[in-house]
Structure 1
Amino acid sequence: MTAALPGAEVTGTRTLSADGDARFDSAVASLADGRELAIRVADDDETARELAAESLALRALTAGARAILPFRAPEYVGETRVGDGRALVTELLPGFQVEAAHVPAGRGTAESMGAAIAAVHGLPVSIVRSAGLVSRSAEESREDIRRLVDDAASTGRVPARLTARWRDAVADDELWRFESTVTLNGVQSTSFLLEDDDERGPQVTGLLNWHGLSVGDPAVDLAWLSAAPDAAPDVQAAYARSSERSPDGAIEVRARMLAELEFARWLVHGDSLHRPDIVDDAAALLEALAEGLRADDLAVVAARNEGVDSALDALDRVPAEAAALIDTSMQTDAYNPDELWAQESEEGSSSTDTSEAARRAAMVDVETEDLTGVGDIFTAPADAGDEADDDERDDDEAQRAARAALQRWKSSDSE
């Protein structure tokens, strides 16, 4: 720590309450000036590359870039070596996190998340390009997906209906007419740090996981909404309202497809490592996905305005390695995702079964989500005025749900 921050007076250290997926060795250091810093140490080459990318991205966020954002990003403090590993030291941001499946609809959390994503996408692309980070055009993003579909299909473990569905999507020129933007290359619900506001409900005050900072398809940062069916319409509507770019009528369809393709990435990952256990697991997930799709709606070609089915109501059940390798550990000390909903879990079950077999079985049981009418998400209904009272009641209920989540977090954190 002192090597990364010369002259700093460390008054104490501790572990973080949010232990994430333990992909990093990490701790919090308290300084004499009142600041708290997060230290993450890479355990292997993969996490070392991620920390290096995070370091570069945070330094690319100049004071001017940060001033554009309506929330905070961690400040880069320094780097050092801890044993044989490289350590990244950043500012510790306050706030609580909510898992995707528990993001409530309505005002507050969902709308604030949508606006936050739009703010990231509104950053000048020069921020990324001047730092030498990855920049992809719409056509290059399309080609990346084409290669992924071909690689997955070559394993012989992808159901034919999925391969046809994805190839039809890649072939649809209308889906790929978008403006590349600054993205985080796969934001997750737990990337957002929230604090409660008496008037507006929980609001995004910080954003983590900048290691994927790049220029590319904005849909990649909306793919996580497949795991948040209740909140998805409000997140997307807030995103559309807050975006200063030209409307992208196909963004939701691409986001759904990218979510489905996380299963394919998991398959290709296992195949490249010659890991039959991973390959079998990914194949089972793909079979579950295929079974949830209507046979008459496999192509995405006509789905831009009509919607597209998806069996990804619970994308967060995909192993972490397949979901953009996002780490949520050691970046906030305000919230333990495993404890937020502990009260409900204890009421529903005396123990938590985390076995692979149970997870796969749960995935198979996921009901297909009907997304007919995708375009309607971005358009207010004609009789919206007549439904104002119902909308107000729904918003009030969403506020209560959001605050209930916050209260559970506060209660679990104080115990």
Structure 2
Amino acid sequence: MGRSPFTLAAAVTAALPGAEVTGARALTAGGDGRFDSAIASLSDGRELAIRVADDDEAATELAAEALALRALTAGARAMLPFRIPEYIGETRVSDGRALVTELLPGFQIEAAHVPAGRGAAESMGAAIAAVHAMPTSVVRGAGLPARSAQETRDEIGRVVDAAASTGRVPARLTVRWREAVADDDLWRFESTVTLGGVQATSFLFVDDADLGPQVSGLVGWHALSVGDPAIDLAWLSAAPEAADDVQAAYARASQRTPDAAIEVRARLLAELEFARWLVHGDSLRRADIVDDAAALLEALADGLHSDDLTVISSRGEGVDSAMDALDSVPASAVAAVDTSMQTDAYNPNELWRDEDLDAPERAEAVDGDDAQNDAAHRAEAAALDTEDLSSLRPSTSDGGGSGISQGEDEGTSPEDEAQRAARAALQRWKSSDSE
């Protein structure tokens, strides 16, 4: 943390005039380090979280979350069976944007540790369904993003084409993804309110003596939008034990027309995180990112049991989930990649927005239309938030980084390490609600 908790806590009074701060402590949740964060205790017993952005991308994220939290009125919050952080105010700390919100109590469970059965898994499924049941007017009225099924489909198609154009995507995956985009049955869904990609760590739990862990709060609202509900289920690829129960609870609690393809789209979106990472690296001309993403894609392709992503398929019939598919990834597929690089994090939702492209302005010095478009594309991607997937691969350096280190336990085989790395790569590890 660059700023002390006491410095940050003192800034709370600027966002909440009249507040009397009686204490401060660090706010840590294993985040991506893009925010300085602290908890301020007030004389009235409340505890507030303050986060300060360390760069322009983080500041944009804080602004988006502030807008989303303000859009969630008392009436909207009353529709949900859990709490949402209250927006308290905004200020600046030095030259950084700061957001102050209510601190919600509760504990978190990482995706791989969410147990099957009653309790956490079922509560998470019901919580996601409650978000998706909210009226879309809550989002549209605040001017937040909204995409139709066709717009979502078109965007996915652009991601697949851009990744394939790099020449680093295995043909098997390109065929698999393009067939999914072309499958009309896959894209007959009703757009809903979504969090834009929920994380396992977005859920806060309290322990119920009879029911087990129950969702008591939900954080991470910066990507609030109207779109494909499958995006909030893509994280289940990293929760193999709980995936079926979360899906079943979601289906039971859903108030919408049954969506037979939602699980398939969720798997597709999880796989496409690799493609987005590849396109991002190619746009920045970062050979290290491109090589890392290409190795992840090779591992995924080698582990898949089927080339299909169809509505009639299921985990046990023809199309295994991405997590099950990666069980057969050989150690050699992932062990040779050096992941000691450091990159910024990216926001996958912002990679493909037609209105963002402005080739004439970004490529004035380049001759020819093709060169102009290429320069604009690379300049646009370079300016985006990036989610560093390299940390999800086995680390080959001696620096003791945040990735999964090879040979960490004497009893762990290289094959197990390869599977762990490939499984971890499917999860969006960057929780924007931690510092």
CA distance in 2, matches of 1:52, 1:218: 23
Shift of 1:311: 3.9
CA distance in 2, matches of 1:205, 1:194: 5
Greater shift after overlay, 15-24 or 258-267? 15-24
For each residue in 1:193-235, what CA deviation from the matched residue of structure 2 results, as whole angstroms up to 9, or x when unmatched? 0000011100000001000100000000000000001100000
Instruction: Specify the SS of the correspondent of 1:182.
Output: strand
**Structure 2 counterpart of 1:45:** 56
- Unmatched 5+ stretches in structure 2: 1-11, 327-333, 350-398, 408-413, 424-435
Residues matched between the structures, number: 341
Paired letter, 1:170: V
**Structure 2 counterpart of 1:365:** 419
Choose the corresponding residue for 2:217, options 181, 193, 206. 206
- Larger relative contact order, structure 1 or 2 (CA cutoff 8 Å, min sep 6): 1
Contact 1:288 1:364 in 2 (8 A): no
Instruction: Specify the SS of the correspondent of 2:83.
Output: coil
**Structure 2 counterpart of 1:119:** 130
Shift of 1:366: 5.4
Identity rate of aligned residues, in percent? 72
CA distance in 2, matches of 1:322, 1:358: 26
Question: Per the alignment, do residues 355 and 126 of structure 1 end up closer, same or farther by CA in structure 2, a change over 3 Å counting?
Answer: closer
Question: Per the alignment, do residues 368 and 76 of structure 1 end up closer, same or farther by CA in structure 2, a change over 3 Å counting?
Answer: closer
CA distance in 1, matches of 2:98, 2:167: 41
- Unmatched 5+ stretches in structure 1: 326-350, 370-415
Greater shift after overlay, 231-240 or 299-308? 299-308
CA distance in 2, matches of 1:38, 1:308: 43
Contact 1:194 1:206 in 2 (8 A): yes
**Structure 2 counterpart of 1:195:** 206
Contact 1:53 1:211 in 2 (8 A): yes
Contact 2:190 2:228 in 1 (8 A): yes
Choose the corresponding residue for 1:300, options 309, 312, 322. 309
CA distance in 2, matches of 1:61, 1:53: 13
Paired letter, 1:77: I
Question: Per the alignment, do residues 116 and 104 of structure 1 end up closer, same or farther by CA in structure 2, a change over 3 Å counting?
Answer: same
Instruction: Specify the SS of the correspondent of 2:52.
Output: strand
For each residue in 1:99-147, what CA deviation from the matched residue of structure 2 results, as whole angstroms up to 9, or x when unmatched? 1000000000000000000000000000000000000000000001000
Paired letter, 2:286: R
CA distance in 1, matches of 2:310, 2:263: 13
For each residue in 1:262-312, what CA deviation from the matched residue of structure 2 results, as whole angstroms up to 9, or x when unmatched? 111111111122211111111110000000012xx2022464454523443
Greater shift after overlay, 249-258 or 5-14? 5-14
**Structure 1 counterpart of 2:175:** 164
TM-score calculated relative to the size of structure 2: 0.74
**Structure 2 counterpart of 1:60:** 71
Question: Per the alignment, do residues 263 and 11 of structure 1 end up closer, same or farther by CA in structure 2, a change over 3 Å counting?
Answer: same
Contact 1:249 1:304 in 2 (8 A): no
Choose the corresponding residue for 1:96, options 96, 104, 107. 107
CA distance in 2, matches of 1:23, 1:38: 15
CA distance in 1, matches of 2:222, 2:210: 33
Paired letter, 1:119: A
Q: State how 1:338-377 maps to structure 2 within 5 Å.
A: 354-355=402-403, 358=406, 364-365=418-419
Instruction: Specify the SS of the correspondent of 1:247.
Output: coil
Contact 2:160 2:275 in 1 (8 A): yes
Indicate whether 1:34 and 2:45 are aligned.
Answer: yes
Contact 1:114 1:237 in 2 (8 A): yes
Question: Per the alignment, do residues 320 and 303 of structure 1 end up closer, same or farther by CA in structure 2, a change over 3 Å counting?
Answer: farther
Paired letter, 1:160: A
CA distance in 1, matches of 2:86, 2:421: 42
